[in-house]
């Protein structure tokens, strides 16, 4: 297996616990000794799908010790007022902020305890698929190791080396679509008393139309702030990374557009100048495997934009699916094909929903039509709990396949638009008509979500 990140560590655990011999090759050093290397986003939102997968590996309890609950999104409006939009009905429907480095450490410990062997400083350089030999280099010196394999799993992220090697011997149908927006991470430190400076149990969001900021809590009282901004500015009103190029300009921009956040980020200038700017995009492949010799999972197969907080959750579902297919049949090629058939349509669905959520977050959550549709959605969900479930809830609080969440979400959205058209409130709405439409268009949900 290539990659000892989140998906690699979880898949290694699932397979090792079921008696498989697993060797994981990781290009970096051991983050438990070296500390977490900056680069990838720092914190992640763990939702029910991810927890469900962690439970299969008995890893949920250990991971949950590292998390902070997020009950909803705290919207910071341009006029300065705040509004908490709850994600679910109550505290049983929440998501969890977790630090990538801490989560990876927990998962590496569990993988090793289950018997997986993790080889650090092994960078995949090339693969001879006919001879079934993989060559790994060590970043610290010029040594190369050749390792014979039966099958390779690529859990090596969006820039996957295994994917590149596979593309050399077969057509994967690879294409990337860049969003044209990038991101920069900043930090809100703890207050003078060591505590959180803003509401800890929320995902904070500052929507500003063409761009936005968010902040996720960390368990030591800090928040990681992420600024999402177009690469190119548009006139005088929409700034971009081409006009905000250094810390000083970033501070002036924050003072103007996010003044309440700006006051809480003392090292904004320094962090803006020194933290890398991350690019955002979606990676599509038509094939995830090379017969029985190699298969890709997680970001290596289907990297997505981060706006639904589902990249890790989706990758963890991949791990459970692939492990199950491998346990069901001794034929690796059949297992890999079955995994792809099950997961590819679902990956496509969450990739699309993640893109849609960017528009929703930056442009709609502070808009009246959106808020009225949301109110009606919640009312219909209360009246028809067996049929109407907000799309966000299907994605974040259930295990319904993503493709089904997308399909039902489209039907629901059309219905909400239809019923709220021309209205400023729900007063005078004909609930009999609304109920009949729900029953006609939305089949009952499965009992087990």
Provide the CA 371 distance to its chain's centre, in angstroms: 25
| Residues 423/429/431/436 CA torsion (nearest 10 deg) | -50
Residues 6+ apart with CB under 8 A from 406: 349, 350, 352, 353, 391
Give the residue among 410, 402, 195 at the shortest CA–CA distance from 314. Answer: 402
289-290 and 294-296 beta bridge pairing: antiparallel
Q: Does 307 bind ligand E0Q (CB under 6 A)?
A: yes
Check residue 301 for interaction with ligand E0Q (CB under 6 A).
Answer: no
Query: CA separation (Å) from 187 to 265, 277, 304, 431?
Result: 6, 15, 24, 47
The interface region with ligand E0Q, picked from 110-118, 302-310, 397-405, 440-448 by CB under 6 A, is 302-310
**Using CB under 6 A, which of the segments 171-179, 279-287, 307-315, 428-436 binds ligand E0Q?**
307-315
Contact pattern for ligand E0Q over residues 81 through 110, marking x by CB under 6 A = --------------x---------------
Tally DSSP H helices, then E strands, for the chain: 16, 18
Binding track over 335-374 against ligand E0Q, x by CB under 6 A: ----------------------x---x-------------
Residue 241 vs 392, nearer CB to ligand E0Q = 392
Of 46, 107, 203, 442, the residue at the interface with ligand E0Q (CB under 6 A) is 203
Please say which residue, 70 or 165, places its beta carbon nearer to ligand E0Q.
70
Q: What's the closest the beta carbon of residue 245 comes to ligand E0Q, in angstroms?
A: 23
- In whole angstroms, the minimum distance from the beta carbon of 439 to ligand E0Q comes to 28
Instruction: State which residue has the least CB distance to ligand E0Q.
Output: 309
Near ligand E0Q by CB under 6 A: residue from 71, 181, 184, 308: 308
Smaller CB separation from ligand E0Q, 127 or 214: 214
Q: Report d(CA 6, CA 105) in Å as an integer.
A: 9
Burial, 189: exposed, middle or buried (Cβ in 10 Å; 0-12, 13-18, 19+)?
Answer: middle
Which residues have C-beta within 8 Å of that of residue 232, sequence separation ≥ 6?
Answer: 180, 240, 241, 242
Mask for 206-245, x = binds ligand E0Q (CB under 6 A): --------x-------------------------------
Work out whether 46 is an interface residue with ligand E0Q (CB under 6 A): no
Name the residue nearer to ligand E0Q (CB basis): 208 or 308: 308
Min dist CB 354 to ligand E0Q, Å, is: 9
Q: Report helix angle 6-17 to 100-113, nearest 10.
A: 20
| Least Cβ distance, residue 244 to ligand E0Q (angstroms) | 19
CA 113 to chain centre: 27
Contact call for residue 73 and ligand E0Q (CB under 6 A): yes
Contact 4, 108 (CB under 8 A): yes
Binding residues with ligand E0Q: total (CB under 6 A): 12
Q: In this chain, which stretch among 50-58, 192-200, 305-313, 417-425 interacts with ligand E0Q, using CB under 6 A? A: 305-313
Residue at token pair 């859990």: 155
> Residue 243 in contact with residue 115, Cβ under 8 Å?
no
Name the site residues for ligand E0Q (rule: CB under 6 A): 45, 73, 95, 203, 214, 306-309, 357, 361, 392
């Amino acid at each position: 297996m290539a990659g000892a990140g989140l998906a690699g560590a979880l898949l290694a655990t699932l397979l090792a616990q079921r008696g498989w011999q697993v060797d994981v090759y990781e290009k970096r050093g051991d983050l438990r000794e070296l500390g977490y290397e900056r680069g990838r986003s720092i914190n992640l939102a763990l939702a029910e799908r991810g927890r469900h997968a962690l439970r299969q590996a008995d890893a949920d309890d250990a991971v949950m010790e590292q998390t902070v609950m997020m009950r909803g999104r705290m919207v910071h409006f341009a006029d300065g007022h705040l509004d908490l939009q709850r994600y679910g009905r109550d505290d049983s429907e929440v998501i969890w902020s977790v630090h990538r480095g801490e989560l990876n450490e927990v998962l590496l410990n569990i993988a090793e305890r289950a018997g997986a062997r993790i080889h650090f400083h092994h960078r995949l350089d090339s693969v001879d698929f006919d001879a079934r030999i993989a060559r790994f280099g060590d970043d610290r010196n010029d040594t190369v190791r050749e390792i014979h394999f039966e099958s390779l799993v690529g859990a090596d992220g969006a820039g996957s080396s295994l994917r590149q090697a596979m593309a050399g011997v077969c057509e994967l149908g690879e294409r990337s679509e860049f969003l044209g927006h990038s991101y920069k991470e900043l930090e809100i430190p703890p207050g003078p008393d060591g505590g959180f400076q803003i509401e800890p149990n929320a995902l904070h969001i500052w929507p500003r139309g063409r761009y936005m900021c968010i902040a996720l809590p960390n368990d030591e009282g800090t928040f990681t702030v992420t600024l999402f901004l177009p690469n190119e500015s548009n006139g005088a009103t929409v700034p971009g990374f081409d006009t905000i190029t250094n810390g000083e300009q970033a501070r002036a921009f924050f003072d103007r557009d996010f003044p309440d956040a700006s006051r809480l980020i003392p090292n904004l200038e320094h962090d803006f100048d020194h933290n890398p700017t991350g690019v955002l995009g979606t990676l599509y492949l038509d094939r995830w495997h090379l017969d029985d010799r190699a298969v890709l999972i997680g970001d290596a197969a289907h990297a997505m934009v981060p706006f639904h907080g589902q990249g890790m959750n989706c990758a963890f579902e991949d791990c459970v699916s692939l492990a199950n297919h491998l346990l069901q049949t001794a034929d690796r090629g059949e297992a890999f094909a079955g995994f792809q058939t099950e997961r590819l349509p679902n990956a496509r669905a969450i990739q699309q929903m993640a893109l849609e959520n960017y528009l929703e977050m930056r442009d709609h959550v502070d808009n009246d039509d959106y808020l009225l549709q949301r109110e009606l959605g919640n009312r219909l969900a209360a009246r028809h709990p067996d049929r109407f479930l907000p799309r966000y809830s299907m994605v974040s609080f259930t295990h319904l396949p993503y493709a089904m969440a997308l399909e039902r979400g489209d039907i629901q959205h059309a219905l909400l638009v239809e019923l709220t058209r021309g209205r400023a409130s729900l007063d005078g709405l004909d609930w009999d008509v609304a109920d009949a439409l729900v029953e006609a268009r939305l089949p009952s949900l499965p009992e087990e979500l």
